[in-house]
Chain A
Amino acid sequence: MSTTNYIGKPTSRVEGPAKVTGAAKYAAEYNVPDLAYGYVVSSPIAKGKITKIHADEVRAIPGVLQVFSHENVPSLAWFDRSYKDDVAPGGSPFRPLQGAEVKYSQQPVAVVIAETFELARYAASLLRIDYDVAPHDTDLETKRDDGFEPGRGKTGWVPPPKPRGNPNEALKNAVHKVEGEYIHLTQHHNPMEMFASTVEWLGDKKLKIYDKTQGAFNSQQYVTKVFGLSKDDAQVISKYTGGGFGSGLRPQYQLFMAVLASLELKRSVRVSLTRQQMFSFGHRPHTLQYVELGTNADGTLAALHHHALHETSQFEDYTENVVNWSGMLYQCDNVKLTYQLAKLDVYTPQDMRAPGAATGSFALEIAMDEMAYAAGLDPLEFRLRNYAERDQNADKPFSSKKLRECYHEGAAKFGWDKRNPEPRSMRDGNMLVGWGMGGGVWDASIQKCAAKVTLTADGHLNVLSGANDIGTGTYTIITQIAAETLGLPLEAVTFTLGDTTLPEAPLQGGSWTAASVGNAVKETCDKLGEKLLKLAQKMAGSPLKDASYEDVQFVNGQIRLNADPTQAVVIRDVLPASGEKELTVENTMMPNPASQLTHSLHAHNAVFAEVKVDPELGTVHVTRVVNAVAAGRILNPKTARSQVLGSVVWGISMAMMEETVMDHGFGRYMNHNLSEYHVPVCADIHDIEVIFVEEEDDKVNPLGIKGLGEVGLLGVAAAIANAVYHATGKRIRNLPVSIDKLL
């Protein structure tokens, strides 16, 4: 049995020891010499104009180095395009400290730089700022009739497909009909690590920037364009990222401020945000959705209408795919999907784990449950009857789709067949028991990605790609792929990421990292393997002389003939024999557009949830969740399972507790801290089971990977809300399902 076949094997995180001992360094943890500290001052008003910043009072405090605001920021890049990052939506990106105008509450209006963190914090608290206050508008509920269809959205956004069939007519003629409005408020990512940038001044406008980001290259591009720096003078490093969930897809303003201060003061500067300031940038937008469904007599969907309206800022049109999924998850010939934005005096929303789909699937999957009840069908049976064999949005076949297996395996594990469909019919002692289900679909994406691999004479393989690992397991899966491709033990492979001096990798988002970096590293390792084979063939008495690359396998530190594995060359011997010190290949992997043109590439999941509800007090516990996922090849069941476990926790969180509440009188989020913005704690999380359904896919990409960062979240909130309905008979369409809604 071969030991270097790592792909598909549960493998502990290679960076685990660094993380559990505290050795892993995050952006705010590079204590470079002569470091100054910045503390950001945030606007107390939602709209208006700064009339005066009394900075001199603060500058007079010994140890305060400077106060930066629009009053003294030097002239920087002029055009909007310089401020546009890789995923900037249409519009004019917000430019920190570059105007007197206040566009949203908690807008950064100044940064105080001082010799110590404590002094910067104190000085920031003393900075007097005068404002003229203007009326603001932050309430999406008042914008129901003011929505507009976005023009050009950001990368990855696809406008809803044109209506198909005759949805209005079909709805009119449907045997059973349901309709409802589904609402959730704003949600904030709140990764545990707060945004921070440490900028090391290396002299002569040369900077080394440690940034919290999901894409070092994105941060570098932003900094170089805004400040007119060359790439050589703005190295960005991001070895460890303490959670992202989308929040690090755009450079955050502390990066701007730290670089500004460093360049102006000619010294190293760190700017960290506070937890309160973690509520001052992108977020999952407050969204109002309307879903209308109708069925035929046989329980097939006659018509589907899904509409969404969500907030965006006054300056950018943030877009996400909320309703499109509803046109492809179920077979339906009469579909109308519409999507609108409304401008408010808030910051631009930003991708947050499964952006759009988490929102859309919450509404659609509750509506499907309502429809199943209205049609007198079991919710699982109803979904099976409406199974989509083909992507009707794109009118293409799926490259692979094992959602049916997700339904069956998930239901079997959960024990769905023992469900009494009658609401309030199941009990555990005094507690009402509810079982609900949901599911979803997510893009299997891939992006262009470069990698460089070097085999040294001692048999060690260095793999380089400027990707990120925000906790998803990138370090580990790439190490596995490289080790298996070249038949080396894991210990002989070192994967280095998170640095703009490395070959360029895409942002870590969209669940595309495993596919993009994985396939790039695989392809690059294969190229190195071909070179290595050539060198091995030159060795005296080489048994591989006439073999082509396809004729050999790299296993257990050897290159072996497929036909006779006993005929082999030890990889460690190849370079010494050749006289080469090392062997290097650098390569850029381009996604294969052919399969994208011919096939619909998607991952799917099915979720089953159990809740126990106290009938008098309205307290809910999510006691059991089974999440069955079909996402192509699973590279590492251990880290993959964790991705889905985390997604379920996110789903529980979305269903049961998360909401950033705005006081529209002030246009300000009021629960901007982790005490009042609730995310689950350990006691909230009970049993979670993850099933990976076998799904082979030779079309999606060479490794057959679909990505796992987001698909596991889909349908979880709906499954829980549906379980709450089953337990209580109360249909909650307005998240979170808090205690007050169940009284």
Chain B
Amino acid sequence: MSTSTTQAPLGPPAIALAPVGTVTLKINGVERQLQIAPWTTLLDALREYLDLTGTKKGCDHGQCGACTVLVDGKRINSCLTLAVMKEGADITTIEGLGTEEKLHPLQQAFIDHDAFQCGYCTPGQICSAAALLTEGKAKTTAEIRELMSGNICRCGAYTNIVAAIEEVLNTPKA
């Protein structure tokens, strides 16, 4: 018995694609202009158009947290927002948190506690942790674990991630 089926019967292609326009994003304190169509996500804008590849794509569906960036100080999944929607917002990526020469305290703590292995989820973890610190809602270990649960680490570095965050959380600001 054989039946037939057709994949993608989604109707004819759109005649005209949405035009490319200029979008201005303020990233890590610098205004960047890019020519994109509305369908470009903030994540793809960073990685493919601005060469800011520190922000990672781990699922592209808001299910892993690798793409976490800070928008106006709040952590979000950059894969689930359009770049055009973030015009005028203040975007901070991992590249804006610190550099190899001048590491952010969280970046140093992640190294010290070996809070990563393959490193792919790490920028998202660190951006997420940076926001967690400013949110001020996580005080106990259990709360850190819960409020870091939007960032999956398949290497399983969670205990070290929590230790790194606790160290920064419990270090009085100089």
Contacts and interface: CB of A to CB of B under 8 A. Distances in A.
Contacts of A126: 8, 10, 13
Contact of B158 (A28, A194, A685): A685
Contacts of A647: 156
B61 A193 contact: no
A683 B117 CA distance: 19
Contact of A118 (B40, B95, B146, B149): B40
B116 A19 contact: yes
Given A13-B114, A125-B8, A645-B157, A19 B63 contact: no
Contact of A685 (B2, B95, B112, B145): B145
Contact of B6 (A130, A639, A685): A130
Given A117-B44, A135-B1, A22 B93 contact: yes
Interface in B27-79: 37, 39-40, 44, 47-48, 51-61, 63-64, 66
Contacts of A674: 58-59, 61, 63-64, 152
A275 B158 contact: no
B2 A642 contact: no
Contact of B120 (A44, A60, A193, A274): A193
Interface residues of A, number: 88
A470 B154 CA distance: 12
Contacts of B9: 128
A635 to B, nearest CB: 14
Contact of A275 (B4, B58, B149, B160): B58
Given A128-B7, A645-B160, A638 B114 contact: yes
Interface string B138-166: 00001011101111111111111110000
Given A193-B118, A673-B61, A131 B94 contact: no
B40 A21 contact: no
Contact of B119 (A24, A44, A118, A653): A24
A268 B152 CA distance: 32
A680 B56 contact: no
A44 B5 contact: yes
A425 interface: no
A61 B142 CA distance: 52
A540 interface: no
Interface string A659-694: 000000000000001110001111111011000000
Contact of B39 (A118, A675, A683): A118
Interface in A593-645: 638-639, 641-643, 645
A242 B6 contact: no
Given A20-B111, A682-B145, A132 B155 contact: no
Nearest to B51: A31
Given A13-B111, A241-B118, A28 B103 contact: no
Interface residues of B, number: 75
B121 interface: yes
A658 to B, nearest CB: 11
Contact of A192 (B3, B56, B60): B56
Contact of B48 (A31, A62, A122, A685): A31
A344 to B, nearest CB: 19
Contacts of B154: 190-192, 243, 245, 679
A240 B119 CA distance: 8
Contact of A22 (B37, B53, B58, B114): B53
A26 B121 CA distance: 12
Given A21-B100, A129-B6, A645-B159, 18 more contacts: A13-B111, A20-B98, A20-B110, A28-B47, A51-B4, A117-B48, A129-B7, A130-B4, A134-B2, A192-B66, A193-B56, A194-B57, A242-B118, A275-B59, A638-B114, A645-B157, A646-B157, A682-B148
Ranked 6 nearest A-B pairs via Cβ: A22-B54, A649-B156, A242-B120, A471-B118, A19-B119, A471-B117
Interface of B: 1-10, 12-13, 17, 37, 39-40, 44, 47-48, 51-61, 63-64, 66, 93-95, 97-100, 103, 107-108, 110-112, 114, 116-123, 126, 142, 144-146, 148-162
5 contacts: A23-B100, A648-B156, A681-B149, A681-B152, A682-B158
